[in-house]
Structure 1
Amino acid sequence: MSSNLIAAAFAFLSILPAFAQQPRTNAFNDPFGQATSGFPACPVPTGPLLTDDEARREAHWRAERGTSCYRSGRCRLPNAYRYDEEIFPRALQYIRADGRFDDTSIWVTVQRRWVTVQGCVRSAEQGAALEAAVRQIDDVEAVIGQWMVGTSSKPPYESR
């Protein structure tokens, strides 16, 4: 084998991982944004980003979960994801207006009436109070707390 061919093969193999890694996007336009910024060193969550392959795999599951809410009588709208655009701004407004969370850095994602709160709080009690507050918002079915106390440990969520 010639040295040029070997060099070309190694060059191709070195760029192969770049082709294998797909870009991640918010394929389903799930509402995601920052509610508070009182903890500047808090790791920023990646948000609801998926590769094209992950989005294709998740599409059927999302359709099933979205419509089962309506079929069971728990939702007035025919798809649970239709609530998300309404819940998101109310969640941000509620967290910001409450006052107890001004010294936190919190990001919110809403998917099918489930609100995920990610970020940094000052105490476990403050994190629990945040979850309890968000649970009070109309049309919220569940709250998923993925926060950490302080900024020195590894966050319980993917971060940038």
Structure 2
Amino acid sequence: MIGIFNKFRIGLLPIYVMLAIFTASVSLVSRSKDDELEIQNDFPFEVKVMPVPKDVANGQTVEMRFTIQRNGNYSNTQYFIRYFQFDGQGTLRYYDEAPYVPNDLYPLPTEEFRLYYTSASAVSQSFEVWISDSFGNEKQLSFEFNSSD
């Protein structure tokens, strides 16, 4: 008689295993939208700029040092730069590359970089630099130089 019960228990084992797998599957599939795992890849950032001179002479070049500081780290984030000069005249360039065209968007290959502004004016100059990332976050930086001629 005991042998019959042991066979019956062993016969139910596959059913118990299948029931456990089914229960686990249903609970994983039936998660609500609110319970979904959120993967964050959009991290706001700050831009730090070393101090720059207040005065610039016509033809003088000023070095500007920038650092992008992330609030998180997502390896595929790309950064871009554009600028617009609204007072005076001058050129802005990345290291020794060709000067930027105002309002055109350029990729930034690093998060620490230097820009060089060369004055082409004997009056005060003002311009804005916009740094954005591939997720639409954007920072605006304003620069003003007095003429030293």
The normalised TM-score by structure 1 is 0.24
Name whichever structure is richer in helix by fraction. 1
Name whichever structure is richer in strand by fraction. 2
